[in-house]
Amino acid sequence: MVILKIVAFLYSVILHEISHGLMAQSMGDQTAKYAGRLTLNPIKHLDLFGSLLLPLMTLVASLGTFVFGYAKPVPYNPLNLNDQKYGPAKVAIAGPLSNILLAVLFGMVLRFAPGIAGNPVARDFLDFVVQINLLLAVFNLVPIQPLDGHWLLLTFLPERWVEVKYFLVRYGIFIFIFFVLFLSKFLMPLIDFLFRVIVGR
């Protein structure tokens, strides 16, 4: 089951990254395609530490209840996008939306396929898939660099707040570390709420 959960996590992250690349491609940028990143082949996306060691360590440390990690970001060139104003935000939102879609699809199986949901092993696995995709979506929507949400913030923040933009870009990595260490746990009630809404329990 541990191996299955790691595989499910990896492909949730991979689909997240591919979605960024596909959205960029739809707006005229071929960078991800030329880099060979619009593929489900995990070798193209894996980061030794972020995609293998970190997920395994967090899964073992949490006794199989939590996993975290990342894949190599899919490259794209915002200068190639045919929508220069909102293009980066569209590319950014594509990743979390893919995770929300996966969470809903697997959640519907739990909700409307009692034969599968009645199997404890299958239910545990499907619960994990829904939860990890909700975690990836919600976490990445936090408006802190380098998360996807920071592109949304920079796109829609009024120009008169340009100093705020400079501050977030300049100190984003420090804000991110602080958030991960001390504030990320506050996302869990929201993830638990969304899980209950989707699976109906």
- 3 state DSSP class of 120: helix
Rounded to whole angstroms, the Cα distance separating 81 from 145 reads 21
Cis status, amide bond into 189, omega within 30 of 0: no
DSSP 12-72: HHHHHHHHHHHHHHHTT--HHHHTT-SS--GGGT--IIIIIIHHHHHHHHTTTS------P
Q: First vs last Cα of the chain: how many Å apart?
A: 23
> Active-site residue 163, yes or no?
no
Q: Which amino acid is at 119?
A: N
Rounded to whole angstroms, the Cα distance separating 64 from 70 reads 18
Candidate list 17, 55, 69, 107, residue with the active-site label: 17
Residue 126 contacts by C-beta under 8 Å, 6 or more apart in sequence?
A: 106, 107, 109, 110, 116, 117
Q: Which residues are known catalytic residues?
A: 17
